[in-house]
Amino acid sequence: MSTIPPRPGMTVPSTRLSRLWHLGCATGDLAAGIGVKGLIELARTRRSAEPSRIRLSPEHTRRFTDRLARMRGAVMKMGQLMSMDGSDIFTPEAAEIMSALRERAAPMPMSQLAGVLEREYGQGWDAKFKRFEFTPVASASIGQVHRAETRDGRRLALKIQFPGVRESIDSDIDNLAFLARTLGMAPAGVDLTPYLEGARRQLHQEADYGAEADSLEAYGAGVGADPDFLVPRVHRDLSTSRVLAMDFAEGVPVDRLADSGYSCEERDRAATALTRLSMRELFEFGLVQSDPNFGNYLYDANSGRIVLLDFGAALPVGSDLVQRYRQLARAAFADDRAAMRAASIDLGYVGASDPSEQVNALINLLRMSSEPLRSPGHYDFGVSDLFERVYARGREMFYSGAFSTVPAPETMFLHRKFMGAFMLCRRLRARVDLGGMLRPYL
């Protein structure tokens, strides 16, 4: 685990009323930052297919971010997504502040943490441990992670769920839906309901630590003895529905390999290993870790291995869906437009009755994004402008209403996973032989 800088503990709002109050305050901070001109701009863009062009100041963004970090749960998850794609709302300075949400949430104060542990382990819970570090090594939207050592010498990472987060998911999503519609976060005619319902289901899944323990063990069995990866073991005797105990592992988030202290060879090797793993997940395991957050992959420089974390969003994939993705990959590999159209309809990317211009626009986007598959040898993401071209074209299509068909939630989550692998290769400026890795699965 990487260590986060200390941050003052803040009690997690655990009742529906308190969470609604904090969300209302966050909305007030947002409105104050936008100002009258910004509100007029929002009203205008809600009636059109354009993204809004409002800008938030760093000061108001910091207040907004602190409020989301305090709430955790679904609200913070929304902020994390906004921070990854906020170019239409945030200035570069404000976007940098928002990026803190991807690193850590505010930890619980010690008294609240002790209360959670007492409810899960019973009175005298500390007798189970030789050492327990109250300062978390990581803190995210659902829970925080603490380092501990048992009396029999096991070095553990304890993932401890924030109180009230599980019970607040539905009300948080409902409140966020209201906020999104009020602020015009999508263009006219775009129905956010399928996306919000998908987020609702995923958050309920992520809050079930018992199910995550099952996924962690199943995934570990799939990875097996692969020398590039380490999957922590679950310790069932200290795991509950709200505490997940696993092996403690050292490492830094894999995107840190982009820093100057790491070699091109290390970056290429890590990007290649994780891209290969993504293909194995889909075509071999039938179990995909669908959350592409870079913090879920820790690089251990001593061993050269990548530690795999956070299986709350693990997605079982049936053989029928795997075959449909195989057909799309074959079509993209062969640059066959007719086959791409058929595969896109089968996957629900477009409908059979959608206007031809919308279908053609999607196929053009697929052809563009699959360029690395058709590139001979290693594709150099460090010199390519592919991401910028795909990003610009995708946003243009979204805001023009070209995506009138909404794919099934599992398809959207898989798409997010593949985009995450793509973004990591770009972030690391890696050279990866995507076509060579994919060919055996076709």
Tell me the C-alpha distance between 54 and 72, whole Å.
25
Helix axes 409-427, 386-399, angle to 10 degrees: 150
Check 29, 172, 291, 310 and give the catalytic one: 291
Token code pair at residue 10: 């803040």
Q: Is 433 a catalytic residue?
A: no
**Strand 229-230 to strand 305-308: parallel, antiparallel, or no bridges (unpaired)?**
parallel
Residue 290 near residue 302, CB atoms below 8 Å: no
Taking the CB of residue 402, how many other CB atoms lie within 10 A of it? 22
CA 226 – CA 281 distance, rounded (Å):
13
How many other CB atoms sit within 10 Å of the CB of residue 124?
A: 8
Cα 421 to Cα 277: distance, rounded to the nearest angstrom: 10
Query: 406-416: buried (b, 16+ CB within 10 Å) or exposed (e) per residue?
Result: bbebbbbbbee
Residue 158 DSSP code: E
Place of tokens 């919000």: 196
Torsional sign, CA 326, 330, 333, 338: negative
Q: Is the dihedral of CA 309, 227, 436, 298 positive or negative?
A: positive
Rounded-to-integer distance, Cα 330 and Cα 122, Å: 55
Q: CA-to-CA distance for 257 and 249, rounded, in angstroms?
A: 18
What are the structure tokens assigned to 352, written together?
């059979």
Q: What is the DSSP string of 383-406?
A: T--HHHHHHHHHHHHHHTT---SP
Residues annotated catalytic, as ranges: 291
